Each structure stands twice: as C-alpha cells, then as structure tokens.
C-alpha cells in the first residue's frame, strides 16, 4: 500500500491544475540503486500498461508499474519544507536501505 499525505495530495492537485493535467493519473516509479537506496520518479500519465497497479491514495489516482510494486510497498509520500522556502516531495520507504522511521 502507498500512502499520500494531505500535503502531498494538495501539491499534486495544484501541479495538475498548473500544468493543465487534470484528470490524469500520477505514475510513480522506483528503481533500486547499486548501493541499496531507491531512486524515484513521478509524473502525470494517461497510459495503461499490463501489470500496472492502480490505487487511490489521498484522493489521487496512482499508477505503479509492475517493476516498482515491491519496491513501493509501504511507502508514504509527503510534501515538506526541507529548508525555509524550499519544498519537495519525500518518499518514506521501509524498503530503502537509508530509511529511518520518523520519530
């Protein structure tokens, strides 16, 4: 299961509106790096491929490709202020070698 926080869902909706992408699903991909960490990608997509997993998370239609299913299991996506004025999506994923649960 993938969880999208309210802050991340709001930012995804805002990005869809600004980019005139309303009605498209959010495709999320993950790939394991040689050091065990995970690289993520996300973008709006209207394609449907064999093996895709379709879920609704935080009011967002999400597509996860077959090769990313296991890597994304248990992931929470949030949109946070990393530094003052600098916001970004973060992936809290227990499958990532560098994952530390929030305290």
**Tokens at 52, concatenated:** 């895709």
Q: How far apart are CA 94 and CA 5, in angstroms?
A: 16
The pLDDT of 55-64, averaged and rounded, is: 90
Q: Among 57-61, 82-86, 89-93, name the one with the lowest average pLDDT.
A: 57-61
Pairing status of strand 25-32 against strand 38-45: antiparallel
Residue percentage of the chain with pLDDT more than 90: 71
Question: 26: pLDDT confidence band, cut at 50, 70 and 90?
Answer: very high
Q: Say what the pLDDT of residue 1 is.
A: 84
Contact 78, 89 (CB under 8 A): yes
Would you say residue 83 has pLDDT above 80?
A: yes
Task: DSSP for 27-66, please give it.
Answer: EEEEEE-TTS-EEEEEEEE----TT-EEEEETTEEEEE-G
Would you say residue 20 has pLDDT above 90?
A: yes
Domain range 3-92, CATH architecture? Sandwich (2.60)
Answer yes or no: pTM beyond 0.85: yes
The pLDDT of 51-57, averaged and rounded, is: 91
Domain limits, the chain: 3-92
């Amino acid at each position: 299961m993938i969880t999208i926080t309210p802050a991340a869902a709001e930012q995804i909706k805002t990005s869809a509106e600004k980019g005139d992408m309303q009605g498209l699903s959010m495709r999320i991909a993950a790939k394991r790096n040689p050091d065990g960490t995970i690289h993520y990608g996300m973008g709006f997509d209207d394609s449907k491929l064999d093996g895709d997993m379709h879920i609704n998370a935080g009011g967002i239609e999400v597509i996860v490709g077959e090769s990313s299913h296991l890597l994304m299991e248990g992931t929470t996506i949030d949109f946070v202020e990393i530094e003052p004025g600098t916001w970004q999506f973060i992936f809290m994923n227990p499958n990532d070698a560098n994952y530390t649960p929030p305290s």
